[in-house]
Amino acid sequence: MSDFYNTYEKENVTPSIFRDEDFDEMQKAENYKIGYKLFKILFSVVSIVPAFMYMLSISIGETVSAVMSLILFIFTWVMYVLYAAKASEKGVMNPSFAKSASAEWRIPCCIGFIVFCIILSICDVLDYKLTIAWGIMMVANIFISHYAKRNQKIVMKQLEDDEE
Amino acid sequence: MAKNLKLKSARAAMDMSQQALAEAVGVSRQTINAIEKGDYNPTLNLCIDICKALGKTLDEIFWGND
Amino acid sequence: MSDNKTTLASGTIFDEAGYDEMQKAENHEIGFRLFRIMFFVVLLFTMVFIIVCSNTENLAGTIISLVLLATLFGFYLLYAYMTAKRGIMNPKFAKSWSGTWIIVFYGIMLAAWSARLIGDIQNDDSFYDVVHYIMWLMISTEAVLMCLCAKKNNKVLKKQLEDDGEE
C-alpha cells in the first residue's frame, strides 16, 4: 500500500490536502506551483469582496457586517504585506515591483494621504468609515515600501558578498 | 524534456527497482519515474544522491547527451 | 540573475515573468503557504459571516457570503483537481478520500438536504431559515467532488507507475 501511494508512512497524522510534510521534492515543487497560482487568484477575489461588503454595509447601516467586512479586509492586506515580507527576506521580490515600491517618495506620500483623509473627515467632507479603509491601505503600502527597500538591500548584499 | 534513458539503464545494470532507488535516495518512486520519463528536473542534490546510489558520475547519468 | 531580468516583469508583486528557477521556487513556496493560511481563515470567517448575516437578516450580506463560500469551495476543488491531474495529491488525503462510501454517504446527504430545501421553499419559509441547508448542500457537493478527485489522483498515479512496467 505504501508503495502504491508513494510516500513514507507517518503514524497518527490527520491528512490534509495541503500537508506538505508528506511530499518529496518533486511533489512539493509541483504543489507549491499550483498553490502559488491559486493564491494569486484567491487573493484578488478575496481582496475585492470585503471591500465591496464594507461599502455595502456602511451604506445600509449594518454595523456588524461592516465590522466583519473590515476585519476580512484587514486580513487580506495583512496577507499581502506578509507575502512581501517573506519574499523580501530572501531577496526574491519581483524586481520591477521592488524597484517602484522602494522609491523614496512612496512613504511620505502614503502618510500625506492619510493625513489628508483625516482632515477631510474632521471637516465632514469624507465619511470617517472610508478614511478607515483608506488608512488601512496606506499603512499596508508603507509596510510594502519598507519591505521593498529591504529586498533591494538584501539583493545588493547577496551580490556584493560574491564579489571576487 | 527528453527521457533519461541513462538513468534507467544504470538502474537496470544494478538490478535496482525504481522503488529501491527511491528509498535509497529518499524520494518517492513517482519522482524517480518522473525523472526517467523526463517529466521532472531534479535538484542538483538529488542528482548527486542518485549518482552515489548507482555508483556513477553526474556526467554518466545526467550530463552529455551525445 | 534577477538584476539582469528587471526590465522584463510587468511590475505586480505576484508577477513571475522574468524569474529564474530559484526565484520561482522560493515565491511558489511562499505563495503555497499563504494560500493554505488564507484559505482556512477566510473559509472559517465566511461561515461565521453567513451565520451572522442570516441571524441579522442582512440579505445582501448573506448572499454575498454564500457566493464567497461557494468560491472558496471552488478553489479547494480546483486545487484538488490540479494536483490529482498530475497524481501529486497528498497521498494520505487521497487514500482517505477515495473511498466509494464517501460518494454514497454524501450523495444521500445531498439528496436529503435538497429535498428539505425544496420542501421549505414550497412552504414559503424565509430565506434565512434555509441558508444552512444551502451550506450543507455545498459541503455535500464538495465532498462528492473531492472523492472523485482523489480517485482520479490514484488512477493517474497507478498509470504513471504501470506505464513503466516496473513492480
Residue B66 has pLDDT above 80, yes or no: no
B27 contact residues in A (CB cutoff 8 A) = 24-26
Q: Taking CA A128 as the corner, what is the angle to CA A126 and CA A130, rounded to the nearest 5 degrees?
A: 75
Contact C34 A4 (CB under 8 A): no
Q: How many structural domains are present in chain B?
A: 1
CB contact under 8 A, B34 and A6: no
- Mutating which of B30, B31, B36 best tests the C interface, going by the most C Cβ atoms within 10 A? B30
Please say if the pLDDT value at position A5 is more than 60.
no
CATH code for the domain in which residue B26 is found: 1.10.260.40
Residues 6 or more apart in contact with residue B6 via CB below 8 angstroms: B60, B61, B62
Q: What is the mean pLDDT of chain A?
A: 88
Neighbors of chain C with 3 or more C-beta pairs under 8 Å: A, B
A61 contacts chain C (CB < 8 A): no
pLDDT of residue C134: 93
Minimal C-alpha gap between B25 and chain C (Å): 18
Position A14 confidence tier, pLDDT thresholds 50, 70, 90: low
Predicted pLDDT of residue C41: 95
Query: ipTM of this model?
Result: 0.86
Q: Write down the residue that cell numbers 554518466 correspond to.
A: B60
Contact A15 C45 (CB under 8 A): no
* B66 within some domain: no
Q: Around B66, how many Cα atoms within 13 Å sit in the side-chain half-sphere?
A: 1
pLDDT score at C164: 61
| Closest alpha carbon to A127 in A67, A53, A51, A55 | A55
How confident is the model over A111-120, as a mean pLDDT?
A: 95
Does the CB of C82 have a partner CB in chain A at under 8 Å?
Answer: yes
Domain assignment present for B37:
yes
Residue C88 to residue B30, Cβ atoms within 8 A: yes
- A-chain residues within 8 Å CB-CB of B19? 3
Q: CA C79, C83, C89 angle in degrees (round to 5)? A: 105
3-state helix, strand, coil in chain A (%, to 5): 80, 0, 20
Residue A71, phi then psi, degrees to nearest 5: -60, -45
Q: In this complex, which chains have at least 3 CB pairs below 8 Å with chain B?
A: A, C
Residue A66, C-alpha cell as written in the block: 461592516
Contacts of A2 in chain B (CB under 8 A): none
Please give the mean pLDDT across all residues of chain B. Answer: 91
Q: Is the pLDDT of residue A81 over 80?
A: yes
Give this prediction's pTM.
0.87
Looking at residue A162, what is its pLDDT?
63
DSSP C9-25: S-S-TT--TT--HHHHH
pLDDT score for C163:
66
Q: Mean pLDDT, to the nearest integer, of B13-26?
A: 94
Q: How far apart are CA C82 and CA A18, in angstroms?
A: 13
The domains of chain C are located at 2-162
Domain boundaries, chain A: 2-161
How many Å apart are CA A41 and CA A48, to the nearest integer?
A: 11
Contact A83, C12 (CB under 8 A): no
Q: How far is CA C44 from CA A62, A72, C69, in A?
A: 21, 11, 9
Nearest residue on chain B to C91, alpha-carbon basis: B28
Residues written for chain C: 167
Residues 102-141 of C with CB under 8 A from A: none
Residue C107 is placed in which grid cell?
450523495
Q: Which of B16, B33, B44, B46 has the most C C-beta neighbours within 10 Å, making it the best mutation to test the interface with C?
A: B33
User: Which residues, 6+ apart, have CB-to-CB distance to C161 below 8 Å?
Assistant: A4, A6, B18, B29, B30, B33
- The amino acid that residue C161 corresponds to is L
In this structure, are residues C102 and C143 in contact, taking their beta carbons and an 8 Å threshold?
yes
For C22, which residue in chain B has the nearest alpha carbon? B43
| Non-local CB neighbours of C56 within 8 Å, separated by 6+ positions | A62, A64, A65
Report CB contact under 8 Å: A6, B28: yes
Give me the domain span that covers residue B31. Answer: 5-61
Interface test with C, best of A11, A30, A31 (most C CBs within 10 A): A31
Helix (H, G, I), strand (E, B) or coil at B63: coil
Taking chain A, what is the end-to-end CA distance rounded to the nearest angstrom? 53
pLDDT in tens, C22-63: 899 999 999 999 999 999 999 999 999 999 999 888 888 899
* Residues C66-124: tens digit of each pLDDT: 999 999 999 999 999 999 999 999 999 999 999 999 999 999 999 999 999 999 988 88
Please tell me the predicted confidence (pLDDT) of residue C9. 42
CA A15 to chain centre: 27
Distance (Å) from the alpha carbon of C67 to chain A's nearest alpha carbon: 10
For C163, which residue in chain B has the nearest alpha carbon? B33
Residue among A8, A20, A25, A33 with most chain B CBs within 10 A, to mutate: A25
Q: Which pLDDT band, with edges at 50, 70 and 90, does B21 fall under?
A: very high
